[in-house]
Structure 1
Amino acid sequence: MRTEVAETLVVLARFLDYPDSQLVEECSDLKEYLKQHLSSKEMQEELFKRLEPLLKIELKELQELYVKTFDYEEKTGMYLTAQELGDSRRRGDALIRLQRLISDLGFERVGVELTDFIPMLMELLAVAPLTDDVEQLTRRLSFAIHRIYTHLPNNNPYYHVFDLLMSFVFKAPNEEEIARLVNEREEADLDELPYPMIYR
């Protein structure tokens, strides 16, 4: 993977993780943060323009926005196999295969999130060797991220993160790929979860 693409993936993965005080502290000077993590001045400027609105939101409000955007809505959920398979029993097998892929690549899953947490897989793509399995994972993530992107309203500050991903990192899936993957999905009963979520 090209250096600037890998760098962009790592930065955007950080912004798609659940926002916490560490993010606010790390990015208190966003221009400096991007300068440290991105070698391309053009990308530094592009990401600053798109990411700055997120950091202007108070942390508690940003956390609430994150949960509302990614935890309440099935179509914008942040888990790869849920985007691919919906509310399907096949997710269990898919998660096991994904964990095996991560292990075979020589990496270990860290944190409390499931194996298919999209920001974590973005970080994996940034550092993993280019193999057929990694290329396939890239295509799978392209579909999932494109699906989230097309279901986010453009007035949601997180929309700009996905716009960056689809503009500079991933290629939109073609109609045939979308049709095949949509046919494999099993929709959940409700778009919105029928119980309140507790902010993390």
Structure 2
Amino acid sequence: MSMQQSYHALSRLLEYPQEREELEISYDALAAYLRRSDIASSVHLFGEMLSGSTLSELQEDYVARFDFNPAAAPYLGHHLYGDNQKKGGYMIQVKQEYGRHDFEAPAEELPDHLGVVLAFLAHLASRGEDATRREFIEKLVLPGINKLLGSSVERDASPWLTLIEAAELLCSADCREEATC
């Protein structure tokens, strides 16, 4: 598995759960990449929840975790700027980067959703745009993930949080390859 595939797998895991088999495939791919890359993670807690839950339980837990808990919402702009004009500028900057690199964000999700951002990182990796990807991570991704983790860690022991932590670990490891972040 490659960095691109791991970003893609993590992106899929952070979407609203639709198919159990797809979740299992994505989780297995991500966990294998993290192990192979010697990235210590607690993502196994998500795997345990996944194996012990029905699809409807996962969907219910996803909604409770992300939709009804603003401190855990997977929207990076929200964590960086709250609801002010700076958030709008952030959203525009993210969308412009998507456009510059021929990435089509899903219409049903905001561009700063962590799952969409990770899909963009996978897109950049597939095109070999490593410098661009790392700069995007440094400027627009890691600051938001770190704020999200900071607002969630002390209050939340949800296995979903391990996916956010995995995103931080993956992005940080990606940047260490070039020492840019």
Corresponding residue SS for 1:144: helix
Shift of 1:120: 0.9
Q: Which runs of 5+ in 1 are unaligned?
A: 172-200
Partner residue, 1:67: 63
Corresponding residue for residue 79 of structure 1 = 75
Name 1:196's counterpart in structure 2: none
State the partner residue of 2:3. Answer: 5
CA distance, structure 1, for counterparts of residue 26 and residue 33 of structure 2: 15
- Paired residues of 1:9 and 1:126 also in contact (CA < 8 A): yes
Q: Which moved more, 1:118-127 or 1:5-14?
A: 5-14
Secondary structure of 1:18's counterpart equals coil
**Greater percentage in helix:** 2
Cα distance in 2, alignment partners of residues 48 and 115 from structure 1: 25
Q: How does 1:42-61 map to 2 (within 5 A)?
A: 42=36, 49-55=44-50, 56-61=52-57
**Are 1:8 and 1:38, in contact at CA under 8 Å, matched by a contact in 2?**
no
Residue ranges of structure 2 left out of the alignment (5+ in a row)? 174-181
Using the size of structure 1 for normalisation, the TM-score is 0.66
Query: In structure 2, do the counterparts of structure 1 residues 109 and 27 end up closer, same or farther at CA, with 3 Å as the change threshold?
Result: closer
Structure-2-length-normalised TM-score = 0.72
Q: Match for residue 147 of structure 1?
A: 147
Change (3 A) 1:5 1:29: closer
Query: Which of 112, 115, 136 is equivalent to 1:116?
Result: 112
Counterpart residue number, 1:15: 13
1:137 is aligned to 136
Correspondence for 1:163: 165
- Give 3-state SS (helix, strand or coil) of 2:16's partner: coil
Shift, 1:156, TM fit = 0.8
Cα–Cα, structure 1 residues 84 and 136, in superposed 2: closer, same or farther, change >3 Å? farther
1:13 Cα deviation (Å)? Answer: 1.3
Deviations 1:113-151 (A, max 9, x none): 01111111111112311345x434202211222222231
Equivalent position amino acid for 2:148 in 1: I
Q: CA deviation at 1:15?
A: 0.9
Distance 1:121 1:19, change over 3 A: same
Across the aligned residues of Structure 1 and Structure 2, the Cα RMSD in angstroms comes to 3.2
CA positional deviation for 1:41: 6.4
Look at both structures and tell me which one has the larger radius of gyration over its CA atoms: 1
In 2: Cα distance, 1:28 partner to 1:18 partner: 14
Change (3 A) 1:40 1:71: closer
